[in-house]
Amino acid sequence: MNLKEKKVAAHDIMLRDGMQPKRHVMTLKHMKDVATGLDRAGVPYIEVTHGDGPGGSSVNYGFPAHTDEEYLSAVVPLMKQAKVSALLIPGIWTVDHLLMAKDLGVHTIRVATHCAGADFSEQHINKARSLDMDTV
Amino acid sequence: MNVNMVTCGGQATIPMVAAASRVQAVAYGEIVATVSSRSVGPGTRKNIDEFTRTTAGAIEKVGGAKKGKAIIIINPAEPPLIIRDTIYCLTEGEPDQAKMTASVHEMIKEVQEYVPGYKLVNGPVFDGKRVSIFLEVEGLGDYLPKYAGNLDITTAAAARTAETIAEEIVAGKLVLEPALAA
């Protein structure tokens, strides 16, 4: 593969998807320690929150040790260069979670659906873009 | 008179939340509706946020849970899967298992009067203060496919609501005033 003139950006999702094996009960200290380490190492994007994204807190997916607000508020202000992202899954989260993420300084929104249901994400992609958030 | 049918997931699950909350206080009610992608039209696809919020709101207002949460999963599998619903209720005190089970079975029968394919697959299962109920809704299959019970249940609920209103009008309990459409 020719990567010449291609820009590759690393996006670390350990503090979001990594919450699954931790049963969503990571402490704020653990979260901050890992995030500041990744930031120092120069990782440009770091994803934070419940393992199923904001709003994932439930009987079905598991109740986290802290709310999404608490995790994001703990990590975002400590970042020197890294941008914080959030995974938003239509059907789990609502626009309220998006506004919360925007308020807390989340930079990037990753909207996820099954590949066969991409049109479920239209409403949320448009909303995130209208808030001037980096939306993928 | 305008009547809101909530959502298909709400029609299927809120009777179960109500069946639990009429026995004892429910601090938290959560529903997970899994529907086949082929049975979800462009309206829902463009308004999935409203689906999630409206259902969560109705779990509280109609179902009687103090806090409501709704999760919708759209399953792209082929052949399409029949709609499945999971209802979790966290009760305030220890659940009265006998009363809760009887209430759930009674409510199933009541819904079956207008949705014959409404079926309890498992539960209520008790684990501490958590009560779990698992359902599926098979459609009649006379026009829409049987797996699309989510579409049938909303139509059936609307017809049932209209009949209830008609019965009240005939009995002289309700007088409808003409009104312009909103």
Tens of pLDDT, residue by residue over A5-30, are: 888 889 999 999 999 998 999 999 99
Report the side by side order of strands in the sheet with B83-91.
Answer: B67-75, B26-36, B83-91, B130-137, B118-127
What's the average model confidence in pLDDT over B33-43? Answer: 86
What's the average model confidence in pLDDT over B51-58? Answer: 92
Q: Is A62 helix (H, G, I), strand (E, B) or coil?
A: strand
Residues from chain A that touch B130, judged by Cβ atoms under 8 A, are 59
Q: Which of B1, B3, B5, B8 is catalytic?
A: B8
State how far the Cα of B151 lies from the Cα of B40, in Å rounded to an integer: 9
pLDDT digits (tens, 9 = 90+) for B16-25: 999 999 999 9
Question: Does the pLDDT at position B62 exceed 90?
Answer: yes
pLDDT digits (tens, 9 = 90+) for B39-52: 888 888 888 888 88
Q: How confident is the model at residue B182 (pLDDT cuts 50, 70, 90)?
A: low
Q: How confident is the model at residue B168 (pLDDT cuts 50, 70, 90)?
A: very high
Burial class (CB in 10 A: 0-12, 13-18, 19+), B40: buried
What is the residue-averaged pLDDT of chain B? 91
Per the CB < 8 A criterion, the answer to whether A65 and A27 are in contact is: yes
Of B45, B71, B86, Cβ closest to residue A120: B45
Question: Does the pLDDT at position B109 exceed 90?
Answer: yes
Of A91, A95, A116, Cβ closest to residue B76: A116
Q: Is the pTM of this model over 0.90?
A: no
pLDDT digits (tens, 9 = 90+) for A74-121: 999 999 999 999 999 888 888 888 999 999 999 999 998 877 677 788
Query: Does B89 participate in catalysis according to the annotation?
Result: no
Take residue B64 and report the two structure tokens written for it: 């009687």
Question: Does the pLDDT at position B100 exceed 90?
Answer: yes
Residues from chain A that touch B74, judged by Cβ atoms under 8 A, are 91, 113-114, 117, 120
ipTM of the complex: 0.83
Residue B30 and residue A60: Cβ atoms within 8 Å?
Answer: yes
- From the list A131, A136, A107, the residue with the least C-alpha distance to A44 is A107
Burial class (CB in 10 A: 0-12, 13-18, 19+), B66: middle
Contacting residues for B74 by C-beta, under 8 A, at least 6 apart: A91, A113, A114, A117, A120, B35, B36, B37, B40
What is the residue-averaged pLDDT of chain A? 91
Q: Is B85 helix (H, G, I), strand (E, B) or coil?
A: strand
